[in-house]
Amino acid sequence: MVTVTMTVNGRQVSKEVEDRRLLVDFLREDLGLTGTHVGCDTSQCGACVVHLDGKAVKSCTVLAAQADGGSVKTIEGLANGADLHPLQAAFKEHHGLQCGFCTPGMIMSGVDLIERHPDGLDEKTVRVELEGNICRCTGYHNIVKAILAAAEEMRGGMRQAAE
Amino acid sequence: MYPLSYRRASSVDEARRLFQEASDAAYLAGGHTLLPTMKQRLAVHDVLVDLTRIEAMRGISVSGDTLTIGGGMTHAEVSESSEVKGAISSLAAMVGSIGDAQVRHRGTIGGSIANNDPAADYPSAALALAATIKTDSREIAADDFFTALYETALEEGEIVTGVSFRIPETAGYAKFRNPASRYPMAGVFVAKHKDGSVRVGVTGAGMEGAFRWHEAEEALAGNFSGEALAGISLDPGMMMGDIHGSPEYRANLVAVMAGRALANLGSAEAII
């Protein structure tokens, strides 16, 4: 057993877990944060994407012990109270989901993608960058639209903040 | 995954010690090959020694005609590095085409080189760019390093601490991905070096893993363009064959990818 301590969605947590505990199981089973999904469990589908120390990772392929001392953000940590994150709002506005299973991972990857491209995004870049997230319902079209719309809105917000 | 003990090393010496104390340890870098394999119970280790917090295995530097990358650097860090882009832009672009964004945030150059997956991208670049693999005890030329499928010249417990690449005059990479696994079915890295020599590294296709295509190197030394490859072919007997493609298909695909790499010098092209 190993004691892991990390910040999850701004709150410090500490638990004793098995060394082989996966980060995704730590989040879901030990912390009850079931917004992060397990899809394929083989690092392909991206349903389990969370941010670890500011970077999008597949939490089914990271041990909780590897994240010890780090900072994790999950889909539950994205909204500001009742105010949805701009990308969550854009998924709603543009109907970027059908069954919703891939959505938490899509949104966490989308936020990471927008943050890594502060100068803006085009459709081709979004489609290439979504390589690691699989959706079996939508055909991706509205997901791409939602990410592009949120990227534009977030840039506007950043410009306003700078002015 | 079977039970295991996780140990985090803060130095190369500590990692070696932790490895030796265990009965069947493995080093954990990005873990994006090792952990999936262990989850499927295809591999079992009693101890995982995490190398990712070792400061001495981080960093990227250029000195003269050599680009050196620390073994712990992730694919995202390498592909976005201004030093790598400035020294060997095709290498930065190739690394930016590995896996997906989330995999690139975790996977490391040292892990990829040490694992020597026959369809990994890095070994082809290491061969074409006359790399030197630096370990905790010695330096090994890439030509002597990749010995067979998933096999390298590394001794038990030896750690890849860094990789040095020879900065070429020009280079390019092209690969054709398997549509499901996304690993290359053929990936070719071509490099023309400043002394006039040409090196061609091939991954994804060879029965024994990554290899140098010497016949193409000789033809390209006289004329560094796709035309020089006309009439040259690889022996299908050396190629992998499986449900995704026959040896003959792969032999042809390597030649096509070599041509695409030569048509995209300074960059990397990932097809499909």
Distance CA B223, CA B217 (A): 10
- Residue ranges of alpha helices (H) inside chain B are 12-21, 34-39, 75-80, 82-87, 89-95, 101-106, 109-115, 122-128, 142-145, 214-222, 247-263
What pLDDT digit, counting tens, does each position of A55-68 carry? 999 999 999 999 99
Residue B79, CA atoms < 13 Å, CB-side half-sphere: 22
Q: Are residues A102 and A152 in the same domain?
A: yes
Is the model's pLDDT at A157 over the cut of 80? no
Provide long-range contacts, Cβ within 8 A and 24+ apart, for B222-225. B224/B170, B224/B192, B224/B198, B224/B262, B225/B262
C-beta atoms of B100 and A131 within 8 A: yes
B149: how many CB neighbours lie within 10 A of its CB? Answer: 14
Q: Token pair of A147, please? A: 């990410």
| pLDDT score of A163 more than 80 | no
| Whole-number pLDDT of residue B181 | 86
A109-139 burial by CB neighbour count: b if 16+ within 10 A, else e? bbbbbbeeeeeebeeebbeebbbbbbbeebe
Minimal CA separation from A6 to chain B, in Å:
16
Of A50, A77, A104, at which residue does a domain stop?
A77
pLDDT over 90 (residue A158): no
Relative to beta strand B268-271, strand B170-177 is parallel
Average pLDDT, chain B: 97
Among B35, B52, B105, whose Cβ lies nearest the Cβ of A56? B105
pLDDT tier at B50 (50, 70, 90 boundaries)?
Answer: very high
Q: Do A66 and B52 touch (CB under 8 A)?
A: yes
Helix (H, G, I), strand (E, B) or coil at B194: coil
**What are the start and end residues of each CATH 3.30.465.10 domain in chain B?**
56-166
CB B25 within 8 A of CB B3: no
pLDDT tier, A159 (very low <50, low <70, confident <90, very high otherwise): low
Confidence of residue B180 (pLDDT cuts 50, 70, 90): confident
pLDDT tens-place string over residues B84-134:
999 999 999 999 999 999 999 999 999 999 999 999 999 999 999 999 999
Describe the strand order of the beta sheet including A11-17 as a list of residue ranges: A11-17, A2-8, A71-73, A49-52, A55-58
**Residue A163 to chain B, least CA–CA distance (Å):** 29
Q: What is the Rg, in whole angstroms, of the alpha carbon atoms belonging to chain A?
A: 16
What proportions of chain B, in percent to the nearest 5, are helix, strand and coil? Answer: 35, 30, 40
pLDDT surpassing 90 at residue A105: yes
Identify which of B175, B57, B200 has the alpha carbon closest to the alpha carbon of residue B121: B175
Q: What are the start-end ranges of the E strands in chain A? A: 2-8, 11-17, 49-52, 55-58, 71-73
Please tell me the distance from the alpha carbon of residue B54 to that of residue A43, in angstroms, as a whole number.
25
pLDDT at residue number B267: 96
Chain A residues inside the 8 Å CB shell of B6: 2, 19-20, 63, 65-66
pLDDT at B68: 98
Per-residue pLDDT for A51 more than 90? yes
Residue span of the structural domain in which A27 resides? 2-77
How deeply is B82 buried, as exposed, middle or buried, from its count of CB atoms within 10 A (0-12, 13-18, 19+)?
Answer: exposed
Q: Are B177 and B271 in contact (CB under 8 A)?
A: yes
Judge whether residue B238 has pLDDT over 80.
yes
- Which residue, A29, A46, A77, sits at the end of a domain? A77
Residue intervals of chain B classified under CATH 3.30.43.10 are: 5-50
Same domain, A37 and A92: no
| Percentage of residues of chain A with pLDDT beyond 70 | 96
Taking contacts as CB-CB distances below 8 angstroms, the residues of chain B near A116 are 101
Q: A8, A48, A29, A64: which is closest to B48 by C-alpha? A: A64
The pLDDT value recorded for residue A160 is 66
Task: Indicate whether A102 and A60 sit together in one domain.
Answer: no
Mean pLDDT on A144-154? 97
CATH annotation of B56-166: 3.30.465.10
Residues of A in contact with B3 (CB under 8 A): 18-20
Q: Among partner residues B4, B35, B76, which is closest to A61 by beta-carbon distance?
A: B35
User: Where along chain B do the CATH 3.30.390.50 domains lie?
Assistant: 170-271
Q: Is the CATH number of domain B5-50 3.30.43.10?
A: yes
Q: What share of chain A is helix, strand, coil (3-state, %, to 5)?
A: 45, 20, 40
Which residues in chain B touch residue A2, judged by CB atoms under 8 angstroms apart? 6
Query: Which of A48, A77, A106 is where one domain is finished?
Result: A77
* pLDDT category of residue A162 using cuts at 50, 70 and 90: low
Which of A25, A63, A117 to mutate: most B Cβ within 10 Å? Answer: A63
CATH code (residue A6)? 3.10.20.30
B76 contacts A62? CB cut-off 8 A: no
Share of chain A above pLDDT 90, in %: 93
Phi-psi domain of B36 (left: phi exceeds 0; alpha: psi -120 through 50; beta: other): alpha
The answer to whether the beta carbons of residues B221 and B229 sit under 8 Å apart is no
Average pLDDT over residues A118-138: 96
Q: Could you give the 3-state DSSP secondary structure of residue B162?
A: strand
pLDDT confidence bin for A156, thresholds 50/70/90: confident
Cβ(B108)–Cβ(B75) under 8 Å? yes
Q: What is the pLDDT of residues B128-171, one digit of tens each?
A: 999 999 999 999 999 999 999 999 999 999 999 999 999 999 99
Distance of alpha carbon B22 from the chain centroid: 28
CATH number of the domain located at residue range(s) B170-271 in this protein: 3.30.390.50
A91 with A144, same domain? Answer: yes
Residue with tokens 């009850």: A32
* Chain B residue with the nearest C-alpha to that of A132: B100
pLDDT over 70 (residue B244):
yes
Between A and B, how many CB-CB pairs are < 8 A? 70
> If we measure between CA atoms, which residue out of B270, B235, B267, B227 comes closest to residue B252?
B235
Structure tokens at A11: 């709150």
> Based on the domain organization, do A92 and A116 belong to the same domain?
yes
pLDDT band at B272 (very low <50, low <70, confident <90, very high): confident
Provide the pLDDT for residue A41. Answer: 87
Mean pLDDT of the region B202-212: 96
Here the CATH number for the domain that contains residue A155 is 1.10.150.120
The total domain count for chain A is 2
Residue A106 CB-density burial (10 A; 0-12 exposed, 13-18 middle, 19+ buried): buried
Residue range A30-42: mean pLDDT, rounded: 96
Among all chains, which residue has been given the structure tokens 């001794």?
Answer: B155
So what's the ipTM on this one? 0.95
